[in-house]
Amino acid sequence: MRQKNVNRFVLGFVKLTGYLPAMLFFKPRVIYEDKTVQSKRLPKPCIFVSNHQSLLDFALYLCLFFGRTIRFQMAEVLFEKGKLFSNFLFWLGGIYVNRNKLNMEMMATSIRILDAGGTVGVFPQGRLPVDGKPFPFKSGVVYMALHSDAPIVPVYTDGNYGLKKRATVVIGKPINLKEWCTDEKPSLATIEALTAQLEQTVYDLKGLVDSGD
């Protein structure tokens, strides 16, 4: 069993000590797609879905959503950097994901967290961009959304990280994926189409960064 519970003390300590340095480093600018229907609080439960620009994405979201415990799915390679670091990731709420095989334990754990009113964070690309080219979204997040009643909150980050830079995060309107798909048993083609539609929805948020809204 590779899933463990969040260590509230460790998570709280990391957030408290890391908040100010993170805010000074990222200087985040947060944009909401539609302020008339969105709250500054993430809905509970929800699936937090973001593009993946850097390993710093996790640090940004950890502090940006200071009052919320987001259980992020994390790749197996991060848990292979020693037992102490592996335990540290689990204590922060990390959900172990083996990208090299079908991981039903990860899916079951994520749905269990959502059913309990929690928040699961997903970087559906699974990997960082190579030579500036991002990987396509994987379909696991769609299966997760369809097997739970949790809405998806699409998020875009421009990855503009650095001491003399400022990161912009765009938070989209919550999506009830079951409104996109009414089939009780969607086909593989439908799942792939939903995944592509979700990916486009996240990247459409980039337009708000470029427009300066």
Within a domain: residue 105?
Answer: yes
In a domain, 2, yes or no: no
pLDDT at res. 105: 86
pLDDT in tens, the chain (213 residues): 456 678 899 999 999 999 999 999 999 999 999 888 787 789 999 999 999 999 999 999 998 999 999 999 999 999 998 899 999 999 999 999 988 877 778 899 999 999 999 999 999 999 999 988 999 999 999 999 999 989 999 999 999 999 899 999 999 999 999 899 888 889 999 999 999 999 999 999 999 987 655
Q: 1 in a domain, yes or no?
A: no
What is the model's pLDDT at position 14? 94
The enclosing domain of 197 has a CATH number of 3.40.1130.10
**Residue 3 included in any domain:** no
Longest dimension (CA), the chain: 50
- Report the distance separating Cα 175 and Cα 185, nearest Å: 19
Q: What is the pLDDT of residue 25?
A: 95
Residue 99 within any structural domain of the chain: yes
Residue 71 is assigned to a structural domain of this protein: yes
Output the pLDDT for position 2: 59
Question: In the chain, how many domains are there?
Answer: 1
173, part of any domain: yes
The predicted pLDDT at position 84 comes to 93
The conformational region for residue 162 under phi > 0 = left, psi -120 to 50 = alpha, else beta, is left
**pLDDT, position 1:** 44
Distance CA(45)–CA(148), nearest Å, equals 10
Domain hosting 99: range is 8-211
b or e along 134-145 (b: 16 or more beta carbons within 10 Å of the residue's beta carbon)?
eeebbbbbbbbb
Q: Is residue 60 part of a domain?
A: yes
